[in-house]
Protein backbone atom coordinates (compact mmCIF):
# COMPACT_ATOMS: atom_id res chain seq x y z
CA UNK A 1 0.00 0.00 0.00
CA UNK A 2 1.25 3.49 -0.88
CA UNK A 3 0.92 6.44 1.49
CA UNK A 4 0.56 10.11 0.60
CA UNK A 5 3.44 12.51 1.20
CA UNK A 6 1.20 14.73 3.32
CA UNK A 7 1.05 11.93 5.90
CA UNK A 8 4.78 11.48 6.47
CA UNK A 9 4.97 13.52 9.67
CA UNK A 10 1.70 12.13 11.06
CA UNK A 11 2.80 8.55 10.36
CA UNK A 12 6.16 9.20 12.05
CA UNK A 13 4.49 10.69 15.12
CA UNK A 14 1.97 7.84 15.31
CA UNK A 15 4.80 5.29 15.04
CA UNK A 16 6.74 6.92 17.89
CA UNK A 17 3.62 7.16 20.07
CA UNK A 18 2.73 3.51 19.38
CA UNK A 19 6.24 2.35 20.24
CA UNK A 20 6.14 4.49 23.38
CA UNK A 21 2.85 2.94 24.50
CA UNK A 22 4.25 -0.58 24.10
CA UNK A 23 7.53 0.23 25.86
CA UNK A 24 5.73 1.79 28.81
CA UNK A 25 3.41 -1.22 29.07
CA UNK A 26 6.21 -3.78 29.02
CA UNK A 27 8.90 -1.98 31.02
CA UNK A 28 7.36 0.72 33.24
CA UNK A 29 4.27 -1.32 34.13
CA UNK A 30 5.83 -4.74 33.66
CA UNK A 31 4.03 -6.17 36.70
CA UNK A 32 0.61 -5.38 35.20
CA UNK A 33 0.53 -8.24 32.71
CA UNK A 34 -3.14 -7.83 31.66
CA UNK A 35 -2.38 -4.28 30.53
CA UNK A 36 0.24 -5.35 28.01
CA UNK A 37 -2.02 -6.86 25.31
CA UNK A 38 -4.38 -3.90 25.75
CA UNK A 39 -1.49 -1.52 25.11
CA UNK A 40 -0.50 -3.47 22.00
CA UNK A 41 -4.10 -3.28 20.78
CA UNK A 42 -4.26 0.49 21.35
CA UNK A 43 -0.97 0.99 19.48
CA UNK A 44 -2.17 -1.19 16.59
CA UNK A 45 -5.48 0.66 16.29
CA UNK A 46 -3.65 4.00 16.27
CA UNK A 47 -1.30 2.90 13.50
CA UNK A 48 -3.99 1.30 11.36
CA UNK A 49 -6.16 4.43 11.66
CA UNK A 50 -3.36 6.77 10.61
CA UNK A 51 -2.12 4.53 7.81
CA UNK A 52 -5.54 4.01 6.26
CA UNK A 53 -6.26 7.74 6.41
CA UNK A 54 -3.14 8.63 4.43
CA UNK A 55 -3.36 5.77 1.94
CA UNK A 56 -2.71 6.73 -1.66
CA UNK A 57 -4.38 4.18 -3.94
CA UNK A 58 -3.24 3.73 -7.52
CA UNK A 59 -6.07 5.18 -9.56
CA UNK A 60 -6.49 5.99 -13.24
CA UNK A 61 -8.55 9.22 -13.44
CA UNK A 62 -11.35 9.64 -15.95
CA UNK A 63 -10.35 12.13 -18.65
CA UNK A 64 -13.33 13.67 -20.46
CA UNK A 65 -13.36 17.29 -21.58
CA UNK A 66 -17.12 17.77 -21.39
CA UNK A 67 -17.71 16.45 -17.84
CA UNK A 68 -16.93 17.46 -14.27
CA UNK A 69 -15.47 14.62 -12.24
CA UNK A 70 -15.65 14.14 -8.48
CA UNK A 71 -12.75 15.86 -6.71
CA UNK A 72 -13.00 13.51 -3.72
CA UNK A 73 -14.09 10.14 -2.40
CA UNK A 74 -17.19 10.34 -0.22
CA UNK A 75 -20.95 10.79 -0.38
CA UNK A 76 -23.04 13.45 -2.10
CA UNK A 77 -24.83 15.38 0.66
CA UNK A 78 -26.00 18.51 -1.18
CA UNK A 79 -27.36 19.18 -4.67
CA UNK A 80 -28.98 22.60 -4.93
CA UNK A 81 -28.99 26.02 -6.55
CA UNK A 82 -27.24 28.65 -4.42
CA UNK A 83 -26.26 32.29 -4.64
CA UNK A 84 -22.46 32.34 -4.54
CA UNK A 85 -21.22 35.40 -2.63
CA UNK A 86 -17.51 34.66 -2.98
CA UNK A 87 -16.74 34.62 -6.69
CA UNK A 88 -19.61 34.24 -9.15
CA UNK A 89 -21.96 36.69 -7.42
CA UNK A 90 -24.88 34.89 -9.03
CA UNK A 91 -26.84 31.67 -8.85
CA UNK A 92 -24.94 28.46 -9.54
CA UNK A 93 -25.43 24.76 -8.85
CA UNK A 94 -23.68 23.32 -5.81
CA UNK A 95 -22.68 19.70 -5.33
CA UNK A 96 -21.19 18.85 -1.93
CA UNK A 97 -19.27 15.67 -1.11
CA UNK A 98 -18.80 14.66 2.53
CA UNK A 99 -15.54 12.83 3.25
CA UNK A 100 -15.61 10.66 6.36
CA UNK A 101 -12.40 9.76 8.23
CA UNK A 102 -12.32 6.38 6.46
CA UNK A 103 -12.31 7.90 2.96
CA UNK A 104 -9.19 8.63 0.92
CA UNK A 105 -8.54 12.33 1.56
CA UNK A 106 -6.69 13.27 -1.61
CA UNK A 107 -8.48 15.87 -3.78
CA UNK A 108 -8.35 15.93 -7.59
CA UNK A 109 -9.03 18.67 -10.15
CA UNK A 110 -12.57 18.22 -11.51
CA UNK A 111 -11.79 19.75 -14.93
CA UNK A 112 -8.83 20.88 -16.97
CA UNK A 113 -8.07 24.54 -17.50
CA UNK A 114 -6.37 27.60 -16.01
CA UNK A 115 -6.52 28.49 -12.31
CA UNK A 116 -7.93 32.03 -12.25
CA UNK A 117 -8.66 32.33 -8.51
CA UNK A 118 -7.22 30.81 -5.34
CA UNK A 119 -7.99 31.97 -1.81
CA UNK A 120 -7.63 30.53 1.69
CA UNK A 121 -10.27 31.48 4.29
CA UNK A 122 -9.65 30.90 8.01
CA UNK A 123 -12.82 29.96 9.87
CA UNK A 124 -14.71 27.69 12.22
CA UNK A 125 -14.73 23.88 12.47
CA UNK A 126 -18.42 23.02 12.29
CA UNK A 127 -19.25 19.45 11.35
CA UNK A 128 -18.72 19.12 7.60
CA UNK A 129 -22.40 18.36 6.83
CA UNK A 130 -23.60 21.54 8.58
CA UNK A 131 -25.25 23.92 6.03
CA UNK A 132 -23.06 26.84 7.17
CA UNK A 133 -19.80 24.92 6.86
CA UNK A 134 -19.54 26.10 3.22
CA UNK A 135 -19.30 29.73 4.31
CA UNK A 136 -18.18 29.66 7.97
CA UNK A 137 -15.56 26.91 8.17
CA UNK A 138 -11.87 27.03 7.33
CA UNK A 139 -11.72 26.51 3.57
CA UNK A 140 -9.75 27.03 0.39
CA UNK A 141 -11.48 27.99 -2.85
CA UNK A 142 -10.10 27.81 -6.36
CA UNK A 143 -11.69 28.58 -9.71
CA UNK A 144 -10.65 26.73 -12.85
CA UNK A 145 -11.56 28.19 -16.24
CA UNK A 146 -12.06 25.64 -18.98
CA UNK A 147 -11.35 27.08 -22.47
CA UNK A 148 -14.65 25.78 -23.86
CA UNK A 149 -17.06 25.37 -20.95
CA UNK A 150 -16.40 28.23 -18.55
CA UNK A 151 -15.56 28.29 -14.86
CA UNK A 152 -15.93 25.80 -12.01
CA UNK A 153 -15.24 26.59 -8.35
CA UNK A 154 -13.86 23.87 -6.10
CA UNK A 155 -13.93 24.49 -2.35
CA UNK A 156 -12.03 22.38 0.18
CA UNK A 157 -13.74 22.69 3.56
CA UNK A 158 -12.38 21.66 6.94
CA UNK A 159 -14.69 19.63 9.18
CA UNK A 160 -14.92 19.23 12.95
CA UNK A 161 -11.88 16.92 12.94
CA UNK A 162 -9.88 18.62 10.18
CA UNK A 163 -7.27 21.19 11.10
CA UNK A 164 -5.24 21.55 7.94
CA UNK A 165 -6.12 22.05 4.31
CA UNK A 166 -3.40 21.60 1.69
CA UNK A 167 -3.94 23.12 -1.75
CA UNK A 168 -1.48 22.93 -4.64
CA UNK A 169 -3.16 25.37 -7.05
CA UNK A 170 -1.36 28.50 -8.23
CA UNK A 171 -3.13 31.32 -10.04
CA UNK A 172 -2.40 31.42 -13.79
CA UNK A 173 -1.17 27.82 -13.78
CA UNK A 174 -2.63 25.24 -16.16
CA UNK A 175 -4.04 22.13 -14.46
CA UNK A 176 -5.26 18.83 -15.83
CA UNK A 177 -8.40 16.97 -14.91
CA UNK A 178 -7.57 14.19 -12.48
CA UNK A 179 -4.31 15.68 -11.20
CA UNK A 180 -3.93 16.16 -7.45
CA UNK A 181 -5.47 19.41 -6.27
CA UNK A 182 -4.65 19.00 -2.59
CA UNK A 183 -5.35 17.12 0.61
CA UNK A 184 -7.56 17.62 3.68
CA UNK A 185 -6.59 16.04 6.97
CA UNK A 186 -9.04 14.11 9.20
CA UNK A 187 -12.60 14.51 7.95
CA UNK A 188 -13.93 17.18 5.63
CA UNK A 189 -16.05 18.22 2.67
CA UNK A 190 -15.59 19.46 -0.88
CA UNK A 191 -18.08 21.74 -2.64
CA UNK A 192 -18.22 22.13 -6.41
CA UNK A 193 -20.00 25.20 -7.83
CA UNK A 194 -20.91 24.85 -11.50
CA UNK A 195 -22.95 26.79 -14.09
CA UNK A 196 -26.73 26.43 -14.13
CA UNK A 197 -26.44 25.14 -17.67
CA UNK A 198 -24.50 22.03 -16.61
CA UNK A 199 -26.47 18.79 -16.22
CA UNK A 200 -26.19 17.06 -12.83
CA UNK A 201 -25.29 13.38 -13.22
CA UNK A 202 -25.34 12.23 -9.56
CA UNK A 203 -27.99 11.82 -6.87
CA UNK A 204 -28.13 12.62 -3.16
CA UNK A 205 -26.44 9.99 -0.97
CA UNK A 206 -24.56 8.56 -3.95
CA UNK A 207 -21.02 7.48 -3.19
CA UNK A 208 -18.29 9.08 -5.27
CA UNK A 209 -14.81 7.97 -6.32
CA UNK A 210 -12.43 10.88 -6.65
CA UNK A 211 -11.10 11.32 -10.16
CA UNK A 212 -13.61 8.86 -11.62
CA UNK A 213 -17.27 9.58 -10.77
CA UNK A 214 -18.98 12.00 -13.18
CA UNK A 215 -20.73 14.75 -11.21
CA UNK A 216 -22.08 16.79 -14.11
CA UNK A 217 -21.79 17.24 -17.85
CA UNK A 218 -21.60 20.40 -19.93
CA UNK A 219 -24.36 20.94 -22.44
CA UNK A 220 -23.12 21.42 -26.00
The residues that are catalytic are 188
Q: Are strands 106-108 and 91-99 parallel, antiparallel or unpaired?
A: unpaired
Angle between helices 35-53 and 8-23 (to 10 degrees): 180
The Cα–Cα gap between 156 and 142 comes to 9
- Is residue 199 within 8 Å of residue 216, measured between CB atoms? yes
Q: Whats the size of the chain, residue-wise?
A: 220
Amino acid sequence: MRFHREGRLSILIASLVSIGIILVAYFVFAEYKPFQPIAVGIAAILMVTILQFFRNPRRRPLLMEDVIIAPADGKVVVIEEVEDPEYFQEKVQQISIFMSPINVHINWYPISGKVVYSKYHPGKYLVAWHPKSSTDNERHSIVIEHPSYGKVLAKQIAGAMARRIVNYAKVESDVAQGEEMGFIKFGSRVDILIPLSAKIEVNLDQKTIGGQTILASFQK
